[in-house]
Structure formats: C-alpha cells, structure tokens
C-alpha cells in the first residue's frame, strides 16, 4: 500500500484505542531497539483528607531507566504547604525503587522552575514560546550517585 492510501485524522480527542496503538507500538519498538522493555506508569495522588477525592496528581512514567514527569497539578488550596515537595519526593523514591537513575520534566516559566531548582533539578534546555515572555524549561535531576546528565 502506498502512503497516499492511508487516511490521516487530526483530533484533540484521541480514542482509547488510538492511545493503546501508540503505547503498544512504541513499547514494542523500544523493546526491539533496546533489547528490553521496562515502560511503566507512575502516579502520586493527592487525596482530600475528608472525602478521599483526588484533588491533585503527579503523572509520570519509567522508560529505559529514566523517570519522566508528564504532568503535576497541586491545587491552590494546598500550595505553599510542602505538598508539591512531598509528591515529588514520593515519585522520586518510587522511581529509585524502580531502578531509575535520572528524572526529567518540562515546566513553563510561569509555573515552577524555581521550585524544581530548589528540589535539586538543573536546567537542561529551554524553548521560547510564541507568547512573548514565556519560556518552557526542560529540567533534570540525577536520582542516584554519579555525574548529572550533560556533565
């Protein structure tokens, strides 16, 4: 079949099946290239102490010894109380338990680059955004003894 025979769909609502195709396909590809697969999600939930409802979360994943933080949300009602630090530390401890040696994440200039620097993260790179004055940072931290990435 020629490439022209394939239809392309652009959407902001991928189906569960579409997400399974990329997760399974990438996992198989990475396993073929690296000789093994160790991709595994990792989440740390912030639960309301009264209702136990999830009010915040850190979502990430382990792949080939790297822990990548996909998303973090800490509600305004608990910011400044050490909850962000606690969920990040919990995720890092679990990543170490899963034999990750490094962690990486992205954050915007208006989000938390100073918070991450305070937690021992180092800027790996930055991308200026189209909105003037906003920057996206890639930050990393070594979880186990040894040199930082890029050194």
What residues does each domain of the chain span?
39-142
The CATH class of 39-142 is: alpha beta
Cβ within 8 Å of residue 137, ≥6 positions away: 106, 107, 108, 109, 113, 123, 125, 126
Residue range 115-139, pLDDT digits in tens: 999 999 999 999 998 878 899 999 9
Residue owning tokens 């973090």:
72
The answer to whether residues 144 and 96 touch, using CB atoms and an 8 Å cutoff, is: yes
Q: Is the pLDDT of residue 148 over 80?
A: no
| Structure-token pair, residue 45 | 């939930």
d(CA 83, CA 45): 11
pLDDT confidence band for 25 (50 / 70 / 90): confident
pLDDT confidence band for 7 (50 / 70 / 90): confident
Residue range 71-108, pLDDT digits in tens: 999 999 888 899 999 999 999 999 999 999 999 999 99
Looking at residue 133, its pLDDT comes to 85
């Amino acid at each position: 079949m020629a490439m022209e025979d394939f239809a392309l769909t652009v959407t902001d609502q991928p189906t569960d099946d579409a997400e399974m195709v990329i997760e399974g396909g990438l996992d198989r590809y990475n396993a073929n290239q690296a000789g093994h697969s160790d991709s595994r999600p990792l989440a740390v939930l912030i639960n309301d102490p009264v209702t136990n409802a999830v009010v915040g979360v850190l979502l990430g994943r382990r792949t080939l010894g790297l822990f990548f933080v996909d998303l973090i949300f800490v509600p305004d009602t608990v910011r400044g109380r050490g909850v962000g630090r606690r969920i990040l530390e919990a995720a890092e401890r679990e990543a170490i338990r899963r034999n990750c040696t490094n962690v990486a994440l992205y954050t915007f200039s208006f989000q938390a680059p100073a918070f991450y620097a305070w937690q021992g993260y180092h800027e790996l790179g930055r991308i200026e955004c189209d909105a003037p004055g906003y920057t996206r940072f890639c930050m990393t931290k070594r979880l186990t003894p040894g040199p930082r990435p890029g050194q």
